[in-house]
Structure 1
Amino acid sequence: MSNRIVQLSSALGFDPPQLGEENDEHWRWRLYQEALRNPAVRPILRDVLKEEQDVSVLIGVVLRAVELCSMDDRASWLDLASERGESAAVVQRIGDLEIIDHLLAGGDAPDLAELSTWSRWLQGRVTEVTERREVLQMLASGSNYKKVRSRAALRLRQLGEV
């Protein structure tokens, strides 16, 4: 059993893993998700993830981590994926988050051509986090994804615009 897993579970107040439990990706996933909610243990989590054998679990945790951490800390999470040659999804997510940061800071709204290059995840997330009507109108009418168009239209109605 990894000492780092024991250290992480202890830091979170979890019972120490039972024999073989650390080999269960569902158990590790729950542990990692709880660790992401606690910034104080994220350094321990990064150490644990260096030993994570399931690349899918690793990438899932890293994708969520880059959403939760500061812009300055995103590179350290990207490094974890890069060490395994699995950085493409994380690079994409960081780029998506930079667009969200730009929009939330009052940056220029995208045009339709730019919108068409946005990932489904980015379009969906923007419908959740922005109150900018011009962006929501563009998503409601110009997204390639029906669910995004519906969510954007709903957000416009919630904001008082039909």
Structure 2
Amino acid sequence: MQIVSLAFEHLAEALRTDPIDESDEHARWAIYRAAVADEALLGLIYEALKDERESSLASAVVVLVLERTERSRHAEWIDILGDEHRGFSDRRSAELGILEDLMSERIPMVMVRDSLGEWSDWLQLKIAESVRISDVLEFVSREGRTKRIRRIASESLRTV
């Protein structure tokens, strides 16, 4: 019985990795994680994930890919996952959309004020690290959920 798909084998070959224990999901994760950094390998990743037997591993890889692909392609990646494993990827896709819209100033400050408490720690941290809008950073530096988020927002505010 073949443990991994032919697409995964091609992925490992494309990365020129040493042979791995294909039954070890941590070893497969390392291959996927390295491959995601190379946009030319996304097609192979997509095909390999269709046959990935560890749904939690597939979900983690999809989330990595979402962070590196256009929002318009998120649904096709999320569709690889079974219905019971789409929740986290759906949420991350939505969060990435909020981050993109915020960075492009398509989200009004009133929405930030009204929604920050509902946004995940991950999204708040990404906002603190990535957004360069002083009103947003000032608000997050006061109202961010954790000390770390507030500190990073304050530090980012100084560079705006």
TM-score between the two structures when normalised by the length of structure 1:
0.88
Matched, 1:13 2:28: no
- Classify the secondary structure of the residue corresponding to 1:68: coil
Q: Per-residue CA shift, 1:39-78, capped at 9, x if unaligned?
A: 1111111111122222221111111110101122111111
Paired residues for 1:104-115 under 5 Å:
104-107=103-106, 108-109=108-109, 110-115=111-116
1:153 Cα deviation from its structure 2 partner: 1.2
Residues matched between the structures, number: 155
1:11 Cα deviation from its structure 2 partner: 2.0
1:84 Cα deviation from its structure 2 partner: 4.8
CA distance in 1, matches of 2:47, 2:6: 11
Paired amino acid for 1:143: G
CA contact (8 A) 1:133 1:156 kept: yes
CA contact (8 A) 1:143 1:149 kept: yes
Matched, 1:4 2:4: no
Unaligned runs of 5+ in 2: none
1:158 Cα deviation from its structure 2 partner: 3.5
Q: Work out the percentage of aligned pairs sharing the same amino acid.
A: 28
Q: In the alignment, what sits opposite 2:55?
A: 55
Q: In the alignment, what sits opposite 1:89?
A: 88
Paired residues for 1:11-160 under 5 Å:
11-15=14-18, 17-18=19-20, 21-81=21-81, 83-107=82-106, 108-109=108-109, 110-159=111-160
Paired amino acid for 2:9: V
CA contact (8 A) 1:62 1:77 kept: yes
Q: Per-residue CA shift, 1:22-51, capped at 9, x if unaligned?
A: 111121111101111111111111111122
Unaligned runs of 5+ in 1: none
Q: Per-residue CA shift, 1:101-159, capped at 9, x if unaligned?
A: 11111222334221111111100011111111111111111122222111111212333
Root mean square deviation of aligned Cα: 1.6
CA distance in 2, matches of 1:142, 1:94: 24
CA distance in 2, matches of 1:51, 1:23: 13
